[in-house]
Amino acid sequence: MPITKICCMGAGYVGGPTCSVIALKCPHIRVTVVDKSSERIAQWNSAKLPIYEPGLDAVVQKCRGRNLFFSTDIAQAIEEAELIFISVNTPTKRFGNGKGRAADLKYVESAARMIAEISAGDKIVVEKSTVPVRAAESIMNILRANHKPGVSYQILSNPEFLAEGTAIDDLLNADRVLIGGEESPEGQAAIEELCKVYEHWIPRKNILTTNTWSSELSKLAANAFLAQRISSINSLSAVCESTGADVSEVARAVGLDSRIGSKFLQASVGFGGSCFQKDILNLVYICECLNLPEVAAYWQQVIDMNEYQKSRFSAKVIESLFNTVTDKKISILGFAFKKNTGDTRESPAIHVARTLIDEGAKLHIYDPKVEESQIMSDLSNCGAILEPELVKSRVSIFKDAYSATKNTHAIVVCTEWDEFVELDYKRIYAEMMKPAYIFDGRKILDHDKLQKLGFIVQTIGKKIECQKLRGSGKIKLKIEEKWYRYHFEALS
Ligand code: NAI
């Protein structure tokens, strides 16, 4: 029976773009995206979509009202659909068993219970959310324990590999689509139905089918590998800063080896986003539960290195500003966890900003796509360390980079937005306090040019050259002392 109606539970960063692309490529399929948040659904039905993603507006405009619908009527959409994607959030558990590491499956479970309650006909239920390996078993247990007579279910795992900021392109030109299912004839038939949906635009050879557990684990593994590369290059960035090697040169030399490849080797202030940390913590927890402590410790290091990098960068900012930022004005350029998204979940900017506020700095923050309310809430609520009143008194949000940097002592670049590369730094320098510092946490700026303009520049993974402070003598950099000491001790 070919699929004619799809329901997607969860209108978030995954459910929204994924189903918009399915609707675009399969005009004969009616796709309904539902969410329990009426506010989110209202935004999907408005001119200003709830998420920023290049290319998304055009796809939604083309399909919405034709074969793409956003609704809060979850029951009706479940009832009508032959295939249901579960695309709800699976955050890290905040309390109870596995707190701080295990994935919280309460939203997946409640979605499964609702499907069981409503469904009067056979359904293919597809895990789109990232879940622990063998989660499909739990969903199946819920569905089978609550099923109505004559109703049968097939559970598939179809993890999503899109990256925020390039979601539409990733969906249209996916490297691969992964579908896992039961090895029974019914399981294979269900896999085939989902394959047919993707085959409207993805070549069959790029659709990989596996057993359910391999598919679930592959998603965690893919995110662990990606994050591991970032942590690996970031760990080397610390070595570069202490030796005179340049991490960009090292990354290029290493990445040209075809066995290694050049992608995901950009050193930075650290990775963020809703997935990497959560999925690796989940993997670590699974390994511990499986009594594999060595494997757990191995992947935990990827997270620990990321924390180290964020702290190291924040410490570098403070140390460079004469070890005190109390009452200094510092502009933060970029608050999203990466460019081309307004998502701030686990953004390194939160860590940097909170550390600086804690040290008494006054922050001027600008991000092209993050709302003021989101920034204030991230700084006040996350970890509940800073009082909202303190945040309000120390943080101002600006509508452009020029006003954000005016009269500040330093600029900290936390997100690699293209517009930050194009700014008129001569004008910015003229309007800043002197000496004017710039900390490039994303390695996107032309450091030589900035130095020539008079900026004191610091970045990641590159030994700081001796710079002349305008009007003062040559600075003896601590980093060089460390380097000489190391050689002296090695020789003696
Ligand atoms: P999100 O938080 O943006 O969206 C999830 C949505 O599900 C929310 O709007 C929430 O209200 C809704 N929801 C929760 N329970 C519901 C229910 N019972 N019925 C209807 N709606 C319900 O989350 P996001 O980022 O879309 O992630 C979803 C899943 O996809 C997660 O498991 C995540 O790990 C995974 N993923 C996320 C990627 C990303 O880049 N954000 C990439 C690949 C996978």
**pLDDT per residue over 50-80, tens digit each?**
999 999 999 999 999 999 999 999 999 999 9
8 A C-beta contact, residue 324 and residue 339: no
Question: Which string of DSSP letters, residue by residue, matches 79-94?
Answer: HH-SEEEE----PBP-
Dig out the tokens for 93 from the structure: 């558990």
Residue of minimum CA distance from atom 27 in ligand 1:
89
Mutate to test the pocket of ligand 1, among 87, 88, 117 (most ligand atoms within 8 A of CB): 88
Mutate to test the pocket of ligand 1, among 35, 74, 161 (most ligand atoms within 8 A of CB): 35
Whether ligand 1 lies within 6 angstroms of the CB of 85 is answered as no
Q: How far is the CA of 358 from the centre of ligand 1 (A)?
A: 32
Bridge partners (DSSP) of residue 85 are: 8, 126
Whether ligand 1 lies within 6 angstroms of the CB of 90 is answered as yes
What is the rounded end-to-end Cα distance, in angstroms, of the chain? 79
Dig out the tokens for 471 from the structure: 């009007």
Q: How far is the CA of 15 from the centre of ligand 1 (A)?
A: 7
- Of ligand 1's listed atoms, the one at least distance from the Cα of 88 is 7
Residue of minimum CA distance from atom 44 in ligand 1:
160
pLDDT at 147: 81
Whether ligand 1 lies within 6 angstroms of the CB of 115 is answered as no
8 A C-beta contact, residue 227 and residue 302: yes
Q: Give pTM, 2 decimals.
A: 0.93
pLDDT at 471: 41
Q: How far is CA 384 from CA 318, 357, 397, in A?
A: 22, 14, 20
pLDDT at 470: 45
What is the rounded CA–CA span in Å between residue 181 and residue 178?
10
SS3 call for 448: helix
Query: Where are the alpha helices (H) located in 162-268, listed in sequence order?
Result: 167-172, 185-198, 212-243, 247-255
Dig out the tokens for 360 from the structure: 């008494």
Residue of minimum CA distance from atom 3 in ligand 1:
12
- Of ligand 1's listed atoms, the one at least distance from the Cα of 37 is 11
Whether ligand 1 lies within 6 angstroms of the CB of 35 is answered as yes
Whether ligand 1 lies within 6 angstroms of the CB of 7 is answered as no
Q: How many residues make up the chain in this entry?
A: 492
* Residues in the chain with pLDDT values less than 50: 468-481, 483-484, 486-488, 491-492
Q: How far is the CA of 270 from the centre of ligand 1 (A)?
A: 23
- Of ligand 1's listed atoms, the one at least distance from the Cα of 110 is 18
- Of ligand 1's listed atoms, the one at least distance from the Cα of 128 is 30
- Of ligand 1's listed atoms, the one at least distance from the Cα of 159 is 44
pLDDT at 382: 60
Whether ligand 1 lies within 6 angstroms of the CB of 37 is answered as yes
Cis peptide before 435 (omega within 30 of 0): yes
Whether ligand 1 lies within 6 angstroms of the CB of 13 is answered as yes
What is the rounded CA–CA span in Å between residue 248 and residue 236?
10
Would you say the ipTM is above 0.90? Answer: yes
8 A C-beta contact, residue 147 and residue 122: no
Bridge partners (DSSP) of residue 156 are: 126
- Of ligand 1's listed atoms, the one at least distance from the Cα of 131 is 32
Q: How far is CA 446 from CA 85, 320, 420, 443, in A?
A: 45, 20, 11, 8
Whether ligand 1 lies within 6 angstroms of the CB of 130 is answered as yes
Residue of minimum CA distance from atom 2 in ligand 1:
89
Whether ligand 1 lies within 6 angstroms of the CB of 275 is answered as yes
What is the rounded CA–CA span in Å between residue 369 and residue 46?
17
**Residue among 275, 287, 289, 414 flagged as catalytic:** 275
- Of ligand 1's listed atoms, the one at least distance from the Cα of 163 is 40
Whether ligand 1 lies within 6 angstroms of the CB of 32 is answered as no
pLDDT at 387: 80
Q: How far is the CA of 20 from the centre of ligand 1 (A)?
A: 15
Place of tokens 């675009």: 24
The angle at the Cα of 31, spanning 25 to 37, to the nearest 5 degrees, equals 130
Whether ligand 1 lies within 6 angstroms of the CB of 386 is answered as no
What is the rounded CA–CA span in Å between residue 331 and residue 289?
44
pLDDT in tens, 129-163: 999 999 999 999 999 998 888 899 999 999 999 99
Whether ligand 1 lies within 6 angstroms of the CB of 12 is answered as yes
8 A C-beta contact, residue 312 and residue 355: no
Place of tokens 């991230």: 378
pLDDT in tens, 262-318: 999 999 999 999 999 999 999 999 999 999 999 999 999 999 999 999 999 999 999
Task: Indicate if 275 belongs to the active site.
Answer: yes
